[in-house]
Structure 1
Amino acid sequence: MKHIITATVLALTLAACAGGTTGLGYGNTGSTGNTNAASGLGKTLVQSYARNQCSVELNKRQEWRLMALAVSADKQAQWEEQICGCVSEEAPNSVTVYDLTQAAVNPQARTEIVANAVTKTVSSCLNRLVK
């Protein structure tokens, strides 16, 4: 797992270097594809961890447990899938590039960064489902 994360950080770093000055906002060198590829890798990494952490975080919440008691197991599974899908899409928006590099280097930081991102997004996704 460390090799995958290290490779991801390396790819992000190389993509940022290959991007020239575009990543800093000093002009358009036509390398936005490299920047998009780097952000795509980071987004995929966070989405994967967020998806795994979502049900754990969801089951910690009292409002979720109360909602789950009121519906069938099938409906509960459907709602959990909707919420965790939302979380995996939204969580990368609350993680910075700095956070991604910390996550790649330090497994303890990775857990904390993803947990924070998931905690933030579970609330908003749960509220969307209720509305």
Structure 2
Amino acid sequence: MKKLLAVLAPIALVLSACTTTTGTTTGTTTAPTATQQLGMAAIKIAINAKCVTELNNIPAWHTATRVMTPTQKQNVQAEICGCVSEKAPQNVTAVDLATAAIDPAARATIVSNAVSRTINACVAEAVR
């Protein structure tokens, strides 16, 4: 019996580490679940990719980058899209995240809206 307990106790401990509690609060904010964190990471990746596409479609970007070396252009693009990736998810609600997880078309729309609301502010920030 003791051997069985010695085997099951570590397994139970490891499995209990995988559980999450929904609605756990820390101070005045609700702690995000693992699913929300994964959803947000996926949204950030999609936002970064959309940012690069949108940035390359802006005529002013082409004009501004003509005098830059490829390395400078890449650094500025990384700075702008990094800013967008960090700020755009603030425009995404939990309902949007849930919808994006289920519907790829909705995900594209949500990402596109979040990028378009954020990219101009990040470009202005990078230019300063």
Shorter chain as denominator, the TM-score bin is 0.7 to 0.9
Q: 104, 107, 111: which is aligned to 2:108?
A: 111
How much does 1:45 deviate?
A: 2.4
Matched, 1:18 2:22: yes
Specify the structure having the higher radius of gyration (Cα): 2
Residue 98 of structure 2: which of 101, 104, 115 is its match? 101
- 1:37 maps onto 2:37 in alignment: no
Task: Output the CA distance in 1 between the equivalents of 2:32 and 2:94.
Answer: 13
8 Å contact from structure 1 (residues 99, 113) kept in 2: yes
Q: Which runs of 5+ in 1 are unaligned?
A: 1-13, 20-30
Identity %: 34
Q: Relative to 1, partners in 2 of residues 1:114 and 1:86: Cα closer, same or farther, differing over 3 Å?
A: same
Mapping of residues 1-131 of structure 1, within 5 Å? 18-19=22-23, 31-32=24-25, 35-38=30-33, 39-131=36-128
Q: TM-score of the superposition, structure 1-length normalised?
A: 0.72
More helix by percentage: 1
* Aligned equivalents of 2:118, 2:79: Cα separation in 1: 13
Consecutive unaligned residues of structure 2, counting only runs of 5 or more, are 1-18
Q: How many residues align?
A: 106
Q: Deviations over 1:76-112 (max 9, x none)?
A: 0110110111111111101111111211121111001
